[in-house]
Amino acid sequence: MNYREGATGLPLASYDLWEERYEVLTFTAAAVYGGLTAAAGFVEAFGELEWAEDYRQGAATLREAACHHLYLQESHCFARGILFPEEGEPVVDRVVDASICGSYLFGLLPPDDPRVAETVQRVRERLWCATSVGGLARL
């Protein structure tokens, strides 16, 4: 809840799944959303209704922030990530990689949300291996 970028509400920068890039990642935002949602359910089960509401509100704020800052309207998909330098404009990582499917894997958005459908379509267009083996490339 507290490890977030103050102005945006997104998680602070961290390393990606492959420990190659350090930025605010769609995958991380989605995973944190899933964690906050699960935490709300756990504390509610133990009767901590105020904490549950705090976690749900934190998750809702995170969802709004992710959709606002990480979904790229012009590209019709989620960004891999974004960096917020101390000075200057944010630097958007527009590379399509498999990790942007995290936008639905942890419940940030439902699979039938148009932003998810567009993102999955971009991933499929760019990363599907058109070979006899098939499969999806990481990047």
Domain residue spans of the chain: 14-127
**C-alpha Rg value of the chain to the nearest Å:** 16
d(CA 137, CA 4): 30
Q: What is the pLDDT of residue 138?
A: 85
Q: What is the pLDDT of residue 7?
A: 87
Q: Determine how many CB atoms are found less than 10 A away from the CB of residue 124.
A: 12
Tokens of 40: 């709300």
Q: What is the pLDDT of residue 5?
A: 86
Q: With a cut of 70, which residues of the chain have pLDDT below it?
A: none
pTM of the full predicted structure? 0.93
Q: Determine how many CB atoms are found less than 10 A away from the CB of residue 21.
A: 18
Q: What is the pLDDT of residue 33?
A: 98
Q: What is the pLDDT of residue 139?
A: 79
